[in-house]
Amino acid sequence: MPLRPEELLREQPAPIATCFYVPDGISLTWDYSAGFTSACDESHDTCTQGNQTITHECSIELCGAECEDNGDCGPSECCATFNDTCTGLKLTEYNGNKIKDSTQVSNSTLNTCLAGCTCTDNPVTCNPPSSQTYCVKDVCGAQCDDNSDCNDGNANTIDTCLANCTCKHEQQFFCGII
The pLDDT tens digits for 36-64 are 777 777 777 777 777 778 889 999 999 99
| Cβ density class 44-62: b for 16+ within 10 Å, e for less | eebbeeeeeeeebebbeee
The pLDDT tens digits for 61-115 are 999 999 999 999 999 999 999 999 999 999 999 999 999 999 999 999 999 999 9
Question: From CA 155, how far away is CA 67, in angstroms rounded?
Answer: 77
The pLDDT tens digits for 18-28 are 888 877 778 89
Question: Please, which residues bridge with residue 46 across strands?
Answer: 41
Task: Give the pLDDT band (50/70/90) at residue 15.
Answer: confident
Q: What is the pTM of this model?
A: 0.66
Q: Give the other-Cβ count within 10 Å of 166's Cβ.
A: 15
Closest CA to 112 of 61, 74, 63: 74
